[in-house]
Structure formats: structure tokens, C-alpha cells
């Protein structure tokens, strides 16, 4: 089924305790699209500047990512500089230059408006709302955001949340969003908005998946244990991309498929963080994903216990 992903395409300068890169390709839409494209064709909507090479677009097209919605404008591509200390769960933003994103308002073609699965990756909530307004009866819409937008446009983020099916957000952000420290209290509060599903990303500790019901259904999954983590940038977007790509492929939104999608998201995030930028996604083959999935299944397995 058709999957649309809107978000940022960026040049990132990143420093972690294990190395650094300057102006490497990144952005929320790009990480999510690369991850999703292992499962489903993707239509990516974003804007780039004149510094973005045509070769990159051609590469994305060769990877099942349609760039018809990738607008090129005079000026510079979005730029993000971030740094991590040994706590790889927390990115420190040192610089954000919106550049061509500043006044970007995407106009979707009639084909893209009819996409069934939509991921509004982290970007200005005004842009997310703009895209949502253009969609014609999507089946499933998921949303991500970040602390910057919660600092300066919290009300707008809440408006968008009230119109989507699922929110994929990290633990600190759900606290900031709801002004609640306890995660379960925060979940109760956020479900008052009409949201049906909530996924809380907990970095190296895994994810919590909640379905709105009485009582809430919860699925808790650890992350895949890794010895080498070079760069956590894009882990959340890779999770969301795998999650959405899998759902779009299954074309069924029910508890079983959602749980499988959470597993796939976790596996894709674990692959992405093994190297900087999109290097791992560029290098892996499908067999690498199957292998990781099988290892993960073995790690998670335990027999029924009679006590």
C-alpha cells in the first residue's frame, strides 16, 4: 500500500565519542524513508536546496523512494549539528539552520494526497498540519516531533496529535508534552486527545507500545543488544520508518500486525546506529535484516513457566 513520508532532508554534522562526520546526509524523512523502503515503496515529501546533488535523488529513486515530492529550492538544505556524550540516548543540538525549510509549504499531487499510510516525521508542526489537511481519507497516520517544537509550538503539536492515529515519541518528550513525570499518567493524559496508539521510544532500553482501550493494552520490547553503537542519530526515524513500511506492506492495522511492526522498527533502528549517517542502510542486504530478526527472536524467547 502507498506510504507517504514527510519530514526533513538534511546535512548533519555529528560528533559522538566514537567519531564524527561533517555535512553527512540525514534528516528525519530520509532516515525514515530509507528504513521503510526495505518493506514498501515510499513517496518522500521534503525540500532541499541547490547544494543537494542530483545524484542523491537518483540514488533514492533506485532504492524504491519516489522523489516526485522532493522540492528543490534556491538556497541551502536544512542543516543540523549535534553531539552525543557517552549517554547516547541524549542528542545535544548545537545548531539548527532551517534554511529552505523556513517557508516551505508542500503542495501534494492528487496521487500523493490519496496515500493510505502517512508518516509525519519530525519537522515544523505547521508543515505536518499542512500535509494532513491535504490528505484524502488516509488509513493510518503516525506522527513524530521533538523538544524544539515542544518548546516553541506545543499547542500546534497537540493540534496535530489530535488528528492522527499514532504518536511515536521519546520518553523525555512525552513528559514535556504532558507535564507529567510518570509515563503511565502521561499516557492516560495523551489518550484524552483521541489518539489510538502511542509508542514511547526509550533509546537503548527499547520501546513501550500502548493501545487505547480500557485498560490500555501494553507491549514492551527491549532494544536489540549491540556491542558497537557509533551514531544514534536517526534511530527514532529508522524505527518509525520500519514500523510504517511494515504496516503499509501488511495493509492491516490490528494488534498482531502492530506488534510485528514494533519489532521491525526496533530491528531497523539497531542496524542504523551501527555506523554514521545512512551508511548501514546503504550497505545491508535483506539477508542481514532476516538474520538480525532471527537473533532478536531467540533473545526474546522463553518457554511457558508453570509456577
Interface residue list for ligand AMP (CB under 6 A): 8, 10, 12, 26-28, 80, 91, 96, 122-123, 146, 148, 233-237
Cβ atoms 179, 210 nearer than 8 A? no
Q: d(Cα 167, Cα 199) in Å, to the nearest integer?
A: 6
Question: Smallest distance, Å, CB 17 to ligand AMP?
Answer: 16
Q: Which is nearer to ligand AMP, 99 or 122 (CB)?
A: 122
Enter the C-alpha cell of residue 165.
Answer: 492515529
| Of 45, 37, 29, residue with least CA distance to 109 | 45
Number of Cβ within 10 Å of residue 18's Cβ equals: 14
Q: Which residue has the cell 523512494?
A: 65
Instruction: Provide the 10 A C-beta neighbour count for residue 218.
Output: 12
d(CA 96, CA 284): 30
What span, in angstroms and rounded, lies between the C-alpha atoms of 125 and 161?
Answer: 10
**Residue 302, all three cell numbers:** 522463553
CB nearer to ligand AMP: give 42 or 250.
Answer: 42
Select 1 or 129, whichever has its Cβ closest to ligand AMP: 129
Closest to ligand AMP by CB, 27 vs 265, is 27
Cβ proximity to ligand AMP, 191 vs 281, nearer residue: 281
Tell me if 115 sits within 8 A of 3, measured CB to CB. yes
Amino acid at each position: 500500500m502507498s506510504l507517504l513520508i514527510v519530514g526533513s532532508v538534511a546535512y548533519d554534522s555529528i560528533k559522538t565519542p566514537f567519531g564524527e562526520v561533517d555535512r553527512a546526509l540525514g534528516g528525519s524523512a530520509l532516515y525514515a524513508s530509507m528504513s521503510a523502503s526495505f518493506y514498501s515503496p515510499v513517496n518522500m515529501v521534503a525540500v532541499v536546496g541547490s547544494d543537494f546533488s542530483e545524484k542523491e535523488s537518483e540514488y533514492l529513486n533506485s532504492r524504491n523512494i519516489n522523489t516526485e515530492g522532493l522540492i528543490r529550492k534556491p538556497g541551502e538544505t536544512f542543516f543540523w549539528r549535534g553531539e552525543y556524550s557517552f549517554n547516547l540516548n541524549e542528542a545535544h543540538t548545537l545548531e539548527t539552520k532551517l534554511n529552505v525549510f523556513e517557508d516551505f509549504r508542500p503542495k501534494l499531487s492528487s496521487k500523493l494526497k490519496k496515500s493510505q499510510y502517512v508518516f509525519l516525521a519530525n519537522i515544523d508542526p505547521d508543515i505536518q498540519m499542512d500535509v494532513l489537511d491535504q490528505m484524502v481519507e488516509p488509513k493510518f497516520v503516525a506522527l513524530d516531533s521533538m523538544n524544539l517544537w515542544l518548546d516553541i509550538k506545543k499547542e500546534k503539536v497537540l493540534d496535530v496529535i489530535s488528528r492522527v492515529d499514532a504518536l511515536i515519541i521519546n520518553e523525555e518528550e512525552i513528559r514535556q508534552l504532558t507535564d507529567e513525570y510518570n509515563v503511565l499518567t502521561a499516557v492516560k493524559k495523551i489518550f484524552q486527545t483521541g489518539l489510538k496508539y502511542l509508542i514511547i521510544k526509550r533509546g537503548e532500553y527499547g520501546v513501550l507500545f500502548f493501545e487505547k482501550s480500557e485498560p490500555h493494552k501494553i507491549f514492551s520490547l527491549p532494544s536489540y543488544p549491540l556491542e558497537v553503537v557509533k551514531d544514534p542519530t536517526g534511530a527514532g526515524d529508522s524505527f518509525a520508518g520500519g514500523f510504517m513500511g511494515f504496516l503499509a506492506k501488511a495493509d492491516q492495522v490490528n494488534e498482531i500486525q502492530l506488534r510485528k511492526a514494533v519489532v521491525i522498527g526496533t530491528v531497523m533502528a539497531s542496524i542504523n546506529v551501527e555506523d554514521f549517517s545512512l551508511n548501514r542502510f546503504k550497505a545491508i542486504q535483506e539477508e542481514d535484516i532476516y538474520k538480525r530478526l532471527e537473533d532478536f527472536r531467540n533473545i526474546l524467547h522463553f518457554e511457558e513457566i508453570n509456577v
